[in-house]
Amino acid sequence: MNFAKSLQSALEPEFTGAITAIEAPAAGRLFLDADRRLVREISKRLVALGGRYQVSIGCDDTSRNGSLGLIHTFAFDGHGLVVALRTSAPADDPVVRSITPDIPGAGWSEREFMDLLGLRFEGHPKPKRLVLADDWPPDIHPLRKDVPYNLVPPSAEDAAYQFDAAPEGTTTIPVGPFHTSLHEPAHFAVYVDGETIKGCDYRGFMTHRGIEKLCQTQVGYNEIPFIAERICGICGSVHATAYAQAVEEAVGLRIPRRAEYIRTVMLEIERLHSHLLWLGVAMHLIGFETLFMHSWRVREHIMWLSERITGNRKTYGMVVVGGVRRDITPELRQDIEVVLDKVEAETRGIHRAVIGDTAIHRRTRGVGRISAEEAVAWGLVGPVARARGVDIDVRRDHPYAAYDDLRFDVPIADSGDVWGTVHVRFLEIFESTRIIRQAVAQMPAGPLLTEPDAALPPWKHGLSLVEAPRGESVHYVITGEDNRPERWRVRAPTYSNLQAVPRMLLNNQFADFPIILGSIDPCFSCTDRVVVIDLKSGTERIVRRHELEALAKRQPE
């Protein structure tokens, strides 16, 4: 009896009648439809059975059945299974029981759908605004179908987010909305006693541009990979691949094996780029500028290589639904191998320097330490979880693309601190080079694209996981009519990891704030799901240097 079956038989007697339907449309996926009154109990049971909470997806079904949908997903990593627990609440009584008291990592997802859909969560410990701007009218929920994508409500001057009250005896240090160690707008109110951090509140989503809404209303299936790629400037391929896989899974499209291999190569090149970039930033945050510069010098090789493979240094534009756009030729294969040798040798040099530097150990060991149990409870993912001894990696646990053909190790550290994240990421760089070498050597010949049908069937659910450099990315697609998804939900890894940062900061020194936050490799743009595109012109245009200079010099009006 496989695990999905045994899970069903564990749940069914306990929740007779509450689970109204069970379907397993694809391998490794189980969809449960449940009564909203028992969602909390079923979720708790799923976690007790070994499930790892991933994300919640809210959707507006009012036009079809007058209800708002809510889906919680749970991964069973040892069994290659993801369970989606679907429920719904009538639009005139949109109340669901909160699962956050049992599963702290669900806090943001639920707050997001309070804002965007107008769902209400009974028993949520912190029902504050998360995503919407402070002056957004409280009764307009942008993800509702009757709200136009380009609605601009009047702005208000006096609206401001109320940070949590500072604990007694502490002073507040504002980190953000703009701060050199953040690189992107986000606001942390850090409560310190002397230089010791006693608490922290976060206000982010300052550049939320509603990319999900945009893609659900304005563009077609095959434009979205390119928009998805622009969710994040660093793990673009991850989002494009995850989206494409979700659509392919929803409609049952098999893509050519060669395309899967090429996706794998691009994902790993992206990981090399991302980890080297992170390493530089991390060294900068602890004031070690020399290693910052050298990591970025090594990273430059990867960017030049990417340009030769894809035409772009970053944001590769390789993935479409059904396959990839460009091939890896024999000459490129040779090029890749040469560059990998160089990158690996130079990274080993940096690795030796870091390992041997006692000062780096002093700045990272015991800093931001949390236990493996807490890491699991908060649903941490990626190197941040693996540094706490949590042995998860989507590439191995829920294989996608060509990873089932490739041999690689999943590095784990048990120090539970920032040093662990440094250590794990170094080893992952070497694993990535190993994966790319195997992939280019084993890649089967064949076409690059399986053309999808002109009209994809509506109301199919697809869920895809991709191990981004920062951890697991989850994309959930519900296919729709009009050649575009009815609902597309993106959960980048930072969305999970950032929620646990206040816990990691507790009782550390303020001087360690940048590196602790930096250790999760935060990507606020992923979390905010930003995109800027010009819908009116839609054409590509190269901005020349003098234009940029003119823009930069323009007087504010």
Partner 1 sequence: MSIVYALVNVSVFFLAAPLYEGLSRKLTARVQSRQGPPILQPYYDILKLLGKDRIDSAGNWVFRVAPAAAFASILAVVGTVPFGFRENALNSRVDTITVVYLLTFGGVAVILGALSSRNTFAMIGASREMVTMIMVEPVLAMTLILGAVRAKSLAISGAIEGVAGAGFGASAVVMLLAYLLALQAFVARQPFDITEAESEILGGPFLEYSGPQYALFKYYMMLKQMFYAVLFVTVFCPFTRTGVYLMDMGIQLLATLAVFVLIALVGATHPRFRIDQAVRYYAVLILASLSAVTISVIGF
- Sites of contact with partner 1 (CB under 8 A): 171-174, 179-181, 195, 283-290, 292-294, 297, 357, 359-360, 362-363, 509-514
Single out the residue of 391, 368, 373 nearest to residue 381, CA to CA: 391
d(CA 339, CA 308) in angstroms, rounded, equals 11
What are the b/e assignments for 280-319, b being 16+ CB within 10 Å?
bbbbbbbebeebbebbbebbebbbebbeebbeeebbbbbb
Q: Which of 364/438 has CB closer to partner 1?
A: 364
235 — phi, psi (to 5°)? -110, 55
Shortest distance, position 363 Cβ to partner 1, whole Å: 6
Can you tell me which residue has the tokens 């982010």?
A: 204
Burial class from Cβ neighbours inside 10 Å (0-12, 13-18, 19+) for residue 274 reads: buried
In terms of CB distance, is 111 or 284 closer to partner 1?
A: 284
114 and 127 in contact (C-beta within 8 Å)?
Answer: yes
Which residue blocks in 233-329 are alpha helix, DSSP H? 236-251, 257-285, 289-310
C-beta of 294: minimal distance to partner 1 in Å? 6
Q: Which is nearer to partner 1, 330 or 556 (CB)?
A: 556
In angstroms, what is the minimal distance from the CB of 192 to partner 1?
Answer: 9
Q: Name the nearest CA neighbour of 400 among 49, 85, 72, 75.
A: 75
Q: By C-beta, is 178 or 459 nearer to partner 1?
A: 178
Tell me the H-state helices in 392-417.
394-397
Q: Are 140 and 147 in contact (CB under 8 A)?
A: yes
Least distance between partner 1 and beta carbon 280 (Å): 11
CB of residue 417 vs partner 1: minimum separation in angstroms? 14
H or E element in which residue 334 lies: helix 330-356
Nearer to partner 1, 52 or 423 (CB): 423
β-pairing, 29-34 vs 19-23, is: antiparallel
Residue closer to partner 1 by CB (options 2, 196) is 196
- Minimum distance from CB of 336 to partner 1 (Å)? 24
DSSP H or E run through 87 = strand 81-90
Alpha carbon distance 77, 385 (integer Å):
13
Decide whether 3 or 163 has the Cβ nearer to partner 1: 163
| Closer residue to partner 1 (CB): 121 or 288 | 288
CB of 285 to partner 1, least distance (A): 5
**Min dist. Cβ of residue 290 to partner 1 (A):** 5
Q: Kindly state the smallest distance separating residue 293's Cβ from partner 1, in Å.
A: 4
Asked whether the beta carbons of 106 and 123 are under 8 A apart, the reply is no
Residue closer to partner 1 by CB (options 363, 470) is 363
Alpha-carbon separation of residue 64 from 72, 120, 292, 459, 485 (angstroms) = 21, 21, 54, 11, 15
Q: How far is the CB of 177 from partner 1 (least distance, A)?
A: 14
In this structure, what token pair is assigned to residue 21? 């339907």
Nearer to partner 1, 196 or 329 (CB): 196
The token duo for 476 is 């959930």
Amino acid letter at 400?
Answer: Y
